[in-house]
Structure 1
Amino acid sequence: MMEIKSSSHLPAQSSQHIFGVSELNQKIKSILEEKFPFIWISGEISNFRIPSSGHAYFTLKDARSQISAVIFRNQIANLKFKPEDGLSIIGIGRVSVYEPRGGYQIIFEYIEPKGIGGLQIAFEKLKQKLADEGLFDAKHKQPLPLLPEKISIVTSPTGAAVRDFIHVSQRRFINLPLAVVPVSVQGAHAPGELVHAIEWLNRLGRTDIIVLARGGGSIEDLWAFNDESVARAIYASRIPVVSAVGHETDYTIADFVADLRAPTPSAAAEMIVPAKNELTRQLSTFKYKLYKSISNDLKIYEKQFDSLKNRIVHPKRHLQDMRLRLDDHLSRLLGSMADGIKHRRERTQYRQELLSSLSPLKTVSALRSQTHRVKQTLTDRMEMILTEYRNTLLLNTGKLDALNPMAILQRGYSITRTLPGKSIVSNSQSVEKDQLLEILLGSGSLTARVEKTTPSNIHPTASPSTTKD
């Protein structure tokens, strides 16, 4: 059998975290999704397929590498082209890990044929940025008034959009005040003019709704309504803003920020301008219902009044009845009070007798005797314990006296120390001739000088430092 020796440079298992396969895949997925939340990527479609789930699965590749990709059916439904093998695309998506197989892939949110251009990319980037800042959140949308007193249309005064809006508005509410604020709706100066018009209407404060209107066109034609400054002006407007830009399939940044998005300028007029004939009909209906309701209430109140009038009794009869009731209540009250006083006296007498039978004076004598016995027992026990402690103390004192070095000196022994170092002399060879010595006795001490040293011939167990006088 081959012996396997552990290598000293490998880490011990007990000091390392051991990942499970699922745990490792989850960790990798978390890192990838945090590092690459949304990225733009381009490549060529290969192995494109749509199973029964409706989601599209394919491989995105270039000249040197490839990666798995998926786009869900909700996004597929919004595509304006048909993806197929060999088609080069550009899209935005996020990197994720499919944990059961441990493979990573791109989950696309949007794709388009490569070459459509940077405007769409810029559109998506600005859309994502403003969405992250909360400019599209529904909680910031302002409600539109049911019956606006004035509507201002920010648009080109010569375009078809303003004519369509005015035509539909006058058809629905013929004398509704409309104001046209002329601006450029495309070109380099258009964003600034749109922002200036929105801010000017807010400072003026004489309109209830602002409508941004423009006819359809290419993404380049509509680009003024994808400008960030226009989006922020719409968001900052205190007056509700309606975006009516392009055709039904066209979307701009202004559509997402506005308080209401209309598919076309004509549709915007249909949505925000109430039909005057319908309002008149509703008012007539409400007027008739209100009249009927008031008439019915009056009839009910008349019946209630007649009923109450017939039930009214002369105050004198009421006073007589009240006097009789007062006498009756007073008689019953006095009887109840007398019964209550009698009952409380009986209860008081019973409790006095009960307290007398339970008086603590009867138990004081017994408790005093018991206290005396306990006190005597405690005193005897304490004296016994003190006697035991005294005997133990005397025994230990005798032992300490027996072990006291001074007691040994009292029996005729001595301790010799050198001067001036005062080191104990235990061997004659450790001193020299003429050296001063201090000899400690049982009572007092001596100072001597060495005349001669003699080697020891005493049994090794004997202590050379103590000598018999």
Structure 2
Amino acid sequence: MAPQANNKVYTVGTLTRQIKNLLEEQYPFLWITGEISNFSTPDSGHAYFSLKDEAAVISCVIFKRQKRHLKFTPENGMKVKGMARLSLYEPRGSYQLIFEHMEPEGTGALQRDFEQLKAKLAAMGWFDTAHKKEIPFLPSGIHVITSGTGAAVRDIIQVAKQRCPSVPLEIIPVKVQGDTAEFEIAHAIELANTVKTCDLIIIARGGGSLEDLWAFNTQTVAKAVYESEIPVISGVGHEIDFTIADFVADFRAPTPSAAAQMALPDQAALVHQIFGLQNELNNKIEQRITRLLEYINDLNRRLKSPARVVDDFRFRIEDLQSRVFSLVKNHINYQRQRTQWLERALSGTLPLSRIQAFKKTVKDFQASLDYLFYAYLKQCKDQVNKQSAQLETLNPSAVLNRGYSITRSLSNGHIGGHVVMDADTLGADDRIEIILSKGRLDARVEKTYGKENL
């Protein structure tokens, strides 16, 4: 039967992967008890076995790194209890338990109290990620709450000196084991939140049995960690040890040394990175300055000063004036020679009266021509003066002499910004240059007003 159009067809790999994701999300960590069978340890050092009870059997593995921390030797037929995460091996489609911690069954009331308190606080939402505070990248100081003589404080101090010696550590010594330990730890957390001389807290102690770590499995300590306004890193025990404080803390580190490593960045690496960024920034600034200087030089080469423009027009006007004078002079000389020729031609054929009349006509023409010439010359001079006045009006120096100014923005404190035509192109604290008739001013914008506020 063929699948319908709305039915999704899975591949074996896709279905297996989705089942794996569902199992691992639903059961990230769980406590389980059962009897060991088929226990074996191949050359890899990992231990493979089955865990069974009267109803079922399940495949299990504990890797070599976790097995080193076991305080007993697992054997077939032994009843054990442990913390494991459920996983699915995709190539065979079989699921198995991967153990992080294991102990012989029968740890007693402490384990039951641990599980009951864990369930209670989880139901109250104390473990929710919504309550987790962000760990500062570079804390101003760290409150270290641990035993003043234990190995944990020495490890933390050693790691801090190696990674970031500039961050101060404030050690608050407390008992980490015994009847009063939980109250001392809780009081130390409250004290750190009262003085607030640091912005990060590390609570730590070395590894041990469930009884040794019990102070960190109490509601007293859990409440102090939950109510702390300062972020808390829990570095209690070894990697396989889990306490209530680990679940409530903003961050859980597997060991005290790891807590210090997570709390402090590598100062040498940061300094190296900063120098690298500084060199890169300097290079980019130099490149930017070089490009701007080249741009300014190009503009200077292309920009023609108003004085040079006026001089060019003046030279052109003088040339035109010279050509006009030359043309008029040549025309007058031509007319004079023509008149003389006509006078000589007519002197032998016309009566004297007509000659006198023609002379008078010639004089009238000459007077009219002189009048027209000087009128035309005056018109040319007036046009020249008018164009000179227009050029002088267009000269920016003339505008500045009348009390106006030119405002330009300053880019990064250097001349080269745009001429300000619109107040909306500037913002508060922008630097500007005001060019006056005599000198210039550097100023800073206090407030801008748009056209509608004029």
What TM-score comes out, normalization by structure 2 length? 0.48
Larger of the two Rg values belongs to structure? 1
What TM-score comes out, normalization by structure 1 length? 0.47
